[in-house]
Amino acid sequence: MKKQINFAVIGCGLMGREFACAAARWCQLSRTDIPKPVIVGVCDLNEDARRYFTDNFPTVKYSTTDYHELLAADDIDAVYVALPHVMHKQAYVDIINSGKHMLGEKPFGIDLEANKAIMAAIKTHPEVIVRCSSEFPFFPGAQELIRRVKNGECGQIIEVRSAFCHSSDMDRTKPINWKRKIEVNGEYGCMGDLGLHAEHIPFRMGWIPETVYASLSKIVTERPDGKGGMAPCLTWDNAHLVCKCKDANGEFPLYIDTKRICPGATDSWSIQVDGMDASFRFSADDPNAFWYLEPYGREQAWCRVDIGSRPMIPTVTGSIFQFGFTDSILQMWATFCCEVAGIEVPFGCLRPEETALSHILQTAALISHRENRAVKLSEVK
Ligand SMILES: NC(=O)c1ccc[n+]([C@@H]2O[C@H](COP(=O)([O-])OP(=O)(O)OC[C@H]3O[C@@H](n4cnc5c(N)ncnc54)[C@H](O)[C@@H]3O)[C@@H](O)[C@H]2O)c1
């Protein structure tokens, strides 16, 4: 088995750097059979963004503004692509067609049509491993929830609540950026940015929405343009999705909340599964805690377990320590490298077909809000 996977990074901004930092601390993983990502090529229009990589990673031998140069290089095996949404379609299709493995950022296309083009490219290249970034399910508390749900410990599901909330947009003086512009970020707005994070576990558990009723809000409609004026801010700030799901025990609602304007929330990712036999919850706000409730008749009490650092892929970090965002990124990357190398993992990275479902759900949500009605996902073509 290969000991390393040579990577190119296309888009060297916020998330490109997160990957680089995860690759730089691969020795934190206790397992030695997982091939190490080695960054050999970088692409960004911004020279300073590339310089972060060339200054910190002596392995970088290609630094370019044109990603096609990286796709033509024989000594690059895989690509991490973290570009603005408007560029996903072309870049992802080109990467997949080049035959290189790819971890692409969400939402995997600015809209449904872009996602369909990416899915079509994947179909013609079954030899390529393609996954989408989603790190939060790798928190140990979330993994414990997944394990217990998969064991069927919930019994009949009452409801599921999954959310990803931020508050940074409460600040009306925050200048507009590409993530607040429909033409670059997409019409989904907050759903495109945050939705897949909240959908990864529900979709993987097989909770597939049949219908959705959506309430979407635009709260701050203009922002400083950074040049002394104001610019329209037309993306959705907050979205509440009420989905109808079904499993062997019957129907239940799945609530998906994605908010950029949620007082007090910072990177607040959470999931709660309420069942007749047991309920479970985890929130990245309290990363050490896994909560469970087993009913004893009339009264119930939530129990908090301090779960510590017990990640899916073991690390040298003592289990008595805390787990955080950058640890979840490392776990996601280790999982992706396992999947590329054919090493089995209990819980895999977000799959392309899950992004396709997300696009159908979010397109249905746009229709639902516009027409003020519940929309069947089967209506979306
Ligand atoms: N997984 C997560 O938790 C998470 C968090 C934030 C963003 N994201 C996703 O990551 C992706 C990138 O977001 P980001 O926050 O890193 O954005 P960013 O703006 O920090 O970085 C994007 C980079 O792309 C570069 N770029 C733009 N056009 C380019 C072109 N034509 N060729 C080469 N480079 C170009 C920019 O110069 C910039 O450095 C998006 O899809 C976003 O939704 C994921």
Pick from 46, 67, 81, 83 the residue to mutate for probing ligand 1's pocket: most ligand atoms within 8 Å of its CB: 83
- For residue 18, the Cα-to-chain-centroid distance in whole angstroms is 14
Query: Of ligand 1's atoms, which has the minimum distance to the CA of residue 177?
Result: 19
Ligand 1 mean position, distance from CA 106 (Å) = 10
> Residue length, the chain?
381
Q: What single letter denotes the amino acid at residue 184? A: V
User: How many CA atoms within 13 Å lie on the side-chain side of 40?
Assistant: 17
Contacts of 87 (CB under 8 A, 6+ apart): none
- Residue 54 parent element (H or E): helix 47-56
Is 2 a residue whose pLDDT tops 80? no
Protein residue with its CA nearest to atom 9 in ligand 1: 105
114-141 as b/e, with b when 16 or more CB fall inside 10 Å? bbeebbebbeebeebbbbbbbbbbbbbb
Where do the domains of the chain lie?
A: 4-132, 137-311+351-371
| 3-state SS, residue 134 | coil
CB of 50 within 6 A of ligand 1: the answer is no
Q: How far apart are CA 246 and CA 207, in angstroms?
A: 7
Top CATH class of 137-311+351-371 equals alpha beta
Query: Of ligand 1's atoms, which has the minimum distance to the CA of residue 88?
Result: 41
Pick from 45, 111, 329, 330 the residue to mutate for probing ligand 1's pocket: most ligand atoms within 8 Å of its CB: 45
How confident is the model over 295-317, as pLDDT tens digits? 988 889 999 999 999 999 999 99
In the chain, where do the E strands start and end? 4-10, 36-43, 62-64, 78-81, 101-104, 130-132, 157-165, 211-217, 222-224, 230-232, 238-247, 250-259, 268-275, 279-283, 289-293, 303-306, 375-376
Ligand 1 mean position, distance from CA 325 (Å) = 18
Q: What is the pTM of this model?
A: 0.97
CB of 15 within 6 A of ligand 1: the answer is yes
How confident is the model over 86-119, as pLDDT tens digits? 999 999 999 999 999 999 999 999 999 999 999 9
How confident is the model over 235-267, as pLDDT tens digits? 999 999 999 999 999 999 999 999 999 999 999
pLDDT at 299: 87
What is the DSSP-derived secondary structure letter of residue 11? -
CB of 63 within 6 A of ligand 1: the answer is no
Is 1 a residue whose pLDDT tops 80? no
Query: Of ligand 1's atoms, which has the minimum distance to the CA of residue 136?
Result: 3
Query: Of ligand 1's atoms, which has the minimum distance to the CA of residue 134?
Result: 1
pLDDT at 366: 98
Query: Of ligand 1's atoms, which has the minimum distance to the CA of residue 105?
Result: 41
Ligand 1 mean position, distance from CA 173 (Å) = 22
Pick from 44, 86, 164 the residue to mutate for probing ligand 1's pocket: most ligand atoms within 8 Å of its CB: 44
How confident is the model over 118-159, as pLDDT tens digits? 999 999 999 999 999 999 999 999 999 999 999 999 999 999
Protein residue with its CA nearest to atom 15 in ligand 1: 14
Output phi, psi for 81, to 5 deg. Answer: -120, 120
- Tell me the average pLDDT across 65-78: 98
CB of 47 within 6 A of ligand 1: the answer is no
Residue pointed to by tokens 């990577």: 7
Pick from 105, 191, 193, 349 the residue to mutate for probing ligand 1's pocket: most ligand atoms within 8 Å of its CB: 105
CB of 190 within 6 A of ligand 1: the answer is no
**Among positive and negative, which fits the CA dihedral 87, 92, 98, 101?**
positive
Residue from 176, 87, 78 nearest 127 by CA: 78
CB of 49 within 6 A of ligand 1: the answer is yes
Is 372 a residue whose pLDDT tops 90? yes
What is the DSSP-derived secondary structure letter of residue 27? G
Ligand 1 mean position, distance from CA 57 (Å) = 20
Q: How far apart are CA 55 and CA 52, in angstroms?
A: 5
Question: Do 137-311+351-371 and 4-132 fall under one CATH topology?
Answer: no
Q: How far apart are CA 60 and CA 170, in angstroms?
A: 39
Domain 4-132 has CATH 1.10.3720.10: no
pLDDT at 5: 98
Query: Of ligand 1's atoms, which has the minimum distance to the CA of residue 104?
Result: 41
